[in-house]
């Protein structure tokens, strides 16, 4: 994919490398105990707490600066470029086809685990979208897994992953996620929601192709990734058998079908998976 000269999105929040130690009021449990000891000995605990607060602020500033520099690596630049193109595309598509004003989400980059409006989540969950804070969450380790475990290499396979989560944001703006939640969020509705996000990812790919961003093999990379993360493929690989009643994302064939429909049509009306 030709992404290097694409503008970088300003809606990328880099939390990679930020720890999640147990902190209370900017200090730590050990600091509070030490402050209590100082007070019992007749000293002034405020001096200690102020000193720790200053140190924490300096450390936080250094961490933020380090993460800003971290976004300059290739993964960070790639994610920023894909987000920029997704924003440019949906800023046109959504008002034209659905008469809804586009509002950009944020992409949060993290390592290991992350806290969101949807709760505390491990990277083992994979990339996800949280409607509560309108943010996409991505640990780049998933791209390694996509290439190594799912045998789906390529930059456009990675772009498909981001575009799929971005598709959930479009559903959020459309009110689709609220309707599914009110209806009970059954497995059947969950599958329809995920397949529609695949179709929306295909619509973006249609836009990117018209912009001259795609190379010849890019669509196949996305199709390989869509097939690899089908419920049937994952269940067969992890447990050796398939339980259709437990599907939440759709079969490999369905995911390929709906991504292809979006890619070929570029039309949101062709993404009616709930029918």
User: Which range among 22-36, 39-53, 212-226 shows the weakest confidence by mean pLDDT?
Assistant: 22-36
User: Which range among 43-52, 140-149, 201-210, 213-222 shows the weakest confidence by mean pLDDT?
Assistant: 43-52
User: Which range among 14-28, 181-195, 261-275 shows the weakest confidence by mean pLDDT?
Assistant: 14-28
CB atoms within 10 A of CB 39: 13
Looking at residue 46, its pLDDT comes to 53
Looking at residue 44, its pLDDT comes to 56
Reported confidence tier of residue 25, pLDDT bands at 50, 70, 90 = very low
DSSP 8: P
Reported confidence tier of residue 275, pLDDT bands at 50, 70, 90 = confident
Instruction: Judge whether residue 193 has pLDDT over 80.
Output: yes
- Spans of all domains in the chain: 21-70, 71-270
- Two tokens, residue 271: 């993404």
Instruction: Judge whether residue 259 has pLDDT over 80.
Output: yes
Task: Tell me the torsion sign for CA atoms 21, 23, 26, 30.
Answer: negative
pLDDT digit string, tens, across residues 70-98? 445 999 999 999 999 999 999 999 999 99
The rounded mean pLDDT for the chain is 86
Q: At what angle do helices 45-70 and 29-40 cross, to 10 degrees?
A: 160
User: In 3-state terms, what secondary structure has residue 268?
Assistant: helix
Reported confidence tier of residue 211, pLDDT bands at 50, 70, 90 = very high
Q: Chain-centre distance of CA 106, in angstroms?
A: 9
Q: Rounded to whole angstroms, how far apart are CA atoms 211 and 88?
A: 11
- Taking phi first (over 0 means left), then psi (-120 to 50 degrees means alpha), and beta for anything else, what does residue 186 get? beta
């Amino acid at each position: 994919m030709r992404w290097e000269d694409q503008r970088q999105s300003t809606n990328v929040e880099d939390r990679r490398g930020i720890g999640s130690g147990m902190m209370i009021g900017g200090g730590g449990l050990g600091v509070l105990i030490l402050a209590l000891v100082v007070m019992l000995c007749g000293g002034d605990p405020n001096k200690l707490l102020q000193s720790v607060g200053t140190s924490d602020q300096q450390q936080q500033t250094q961490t933020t600066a380090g993460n800003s520099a971290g976004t300059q690596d290739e993964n960070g630049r790639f994610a920023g470029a894909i987000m920029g193109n997704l924003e440019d595309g949906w800023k046109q598509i959504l008002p034209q086809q659905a008469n809804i004003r586009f509002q950009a989400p944020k992409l949060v980059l993290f390592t290991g685990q992350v806290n969101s409006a949807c709760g505390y989540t491990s990277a083992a969950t994979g990339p996800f979208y949280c409607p509560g804070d309108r943010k996409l969450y991505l640990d780049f380790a998933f791209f390694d897994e996509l290439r190594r475990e799912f045998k789906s290499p390529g930059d456009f396979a990675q772009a498909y992953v981001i575009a799929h989560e971005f598709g959930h944001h479009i559903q959020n703006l459309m009110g689709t996620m609220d309707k599914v939640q009110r209806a009970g969020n059954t497995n059947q509705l969950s599958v329809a929601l995920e397949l529609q996000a695949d179709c929306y990812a295909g619509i973006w790919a249609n836009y990117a192709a018209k912009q001259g961003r795609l190379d010849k093999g890019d669509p196949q990379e996305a199709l390989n990734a869509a097939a690899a993360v089908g419920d049937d493929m994952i269940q067969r690989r992890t447990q050796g058998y398939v339980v259709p009643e437990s599907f939440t994302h759709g079969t490999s064939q369905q995911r390929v079908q709906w991504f292809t429909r979006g890619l070929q049509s570029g039309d949101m009306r062709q993404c009616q998976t709930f029918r």
